[in-house]
Structure 1
């Protein structure tokens, strides 16, 4: 079994980016051609191109969360208007390197990949168990109008964690919006592992921690999307889901979340997933 998702999840060339700093803390990665765009705002960004210390740093005069957020917000608005930040969401993300860390600034969700800042998401494996035959998984197909990965296969529930929401609160919210799973049932989900993704994408860098959950769904339950972000749902055999991962039909994020479920439940052999252990550890650069 070949697993392109594992390769893609760490397909990142640090040499093609400059680290983005707030103070002494690296909080993101900016592509070299995007660094040139930021040079238009010398009052907002300090750009050091020296090989030994190359970096982009938010000007130190922005020394509060509000000041940093305002400075970044004005730049982000201009870049979005020029088409350099696609898929505007009207959602607020915090810049923070750990989920429980205090925010250094707030930015529009769509800008997180331009700046390569750490983001957080939840993914839910919808499991159906039977007494008389093998278990199956509910798989979603993303809407063709989604800003990222349109039309690709995904977990039955998946969503980013916006500022002000916890992991479980986001899971409950996304369960209803994406699959019509009521809160009482959603709260029966059980945590899996956390996967760490660092990959280059057309819109920038995805640096993301994904909190994985499994939920055993009733055999007669059928997901119903509520927010228009899912095109359809499919009930899949384990071998079908594994084949979609191998063929690259499923998003990288969903592939890793699905593999975590299959491995933990021993529905596939870990020997068939060479290299996957690294995905559960933060990347080192």
Structure 2
């Protein structure tokens, strides 16, 4: 079976983008249609036929790069070119443990195609007398992206300054009312690498997948208004939602990873997913 989420996770055309560099390192991808917008800041960007570079005059440190980018990002947001402002800082870095080259508003990460990081938790309820089930969330209609779609019980981007574990605790409480002591039981799965074109730009993201065993008497309770509802569903129901494209790409891949590791589905049901557990071959 060929699932649409697996193909979409690598639906990206390098030829429709220009690599984005800072400090001699490629850190992102900018769509050809967006490159002319940056010409308004000739003192910030060096625009060439093959690439866009942040001017070397800002190479002194990450703070200088950040300040230069902040002025551009604010102007692009005012023009409606960058949407979904979060007031959340992301670090520009090609490895999660790498030193940040700059700091940008989260909403700008897809415009510049910079690498982002996220955690997704599969909320698993196991029973003594029947098959396990999964808690699934429906994203609020007011979310900046993928509004109204089905999602994992907990999922969120990792902001600068937070570790994976700290993000898990934070997101568990905000999205599902899961206390820190219970969130600490999260068990690591695999890491999914996504590189896909979206209406707002490029999603280049590493998704750290975790499983969280939940008591059978626990019911998620959203705290931050970002989840419309929660459902406790059978494995076959969730598999059908993935097949029908009702779940987000990220959540679909995180859930498939869980199902494969627990052998709830056959490998043939998720043919091609193994390629997503390694970084794309496109040079970063």
TM-score, normalised by the number of residues in structure 1: 0.98
Write the mapping of 1:86-105 to structure 2, written as runs, cut at 5 A: 86-105=83-102
Residues 69-126 of structure 1 show CA distances to partners (whole Å, capped at 9, x for unaligned) of 0000000000000000000000000000000000000000000000000000000000
Match of 2:177 in 1: 180
Secondary structure at 1:33 match in 2: coil
Superposition deviation, residue 261 in structure 1: 0.2
Match of 1:59 in 2: 55
**In 1: Cα distance, 2:277 partner to 2:99 partner:** 24
**In 2: Cα distance, 1:189 partner to 1:106 partner:** 29
Structure 1 runs (4+) deviating above 2 angstroms are none
Residues 15-68 of structure 1 show CA distances to partners (whole Å, capped at 9, x for unaligned) of 00000001221000000011010011110000111xxxx000000000111110
Task: Answer yes or no: is 1:73 the counterpart of 2:52.
Answer: no
**In 2: Cα distance, 1:257 partner to 1:232 partner:** 19
Q: Which runs of 5+ in 2 are unaligned?
A: none
Secondary structure at 1:151 match in 2: coil
**In 2: Cα distance, 1:89 partner to 1:23 partner:** 26
Superposition deviation, residue 2 in structure 1: 3.5
The correspondence for 1:82, drawn from 79, 82, 98, is: 79
Match of 1:48 in 2: 48
**In 2: Cα distance, 1:116 partner to 1:189 partner:** 29
Match of 1:18 in 2: 18
Secondary structure at 2:151 match in 1: strand
Q: Which runs of 5+ in 1 are unaligned?
A: none
Superposition deviation, residue 222 in structure 1: 0.3
Task: Answer yes or no: is 1:127 the counterpart of 2:124.
Answer: yes
Residues 233-279 of structure 1 show CA distances to partners (whole Å, capped at 9, x for unaligned) of 00010000000000000000000000000000000001221111001
| CA RMSD, 1 decimal | 0.5
Matched pairs, number: 281
Write the mapping of 1:104-143 to structure 2, written as runs, cut at 5 A: 104-143=101-140
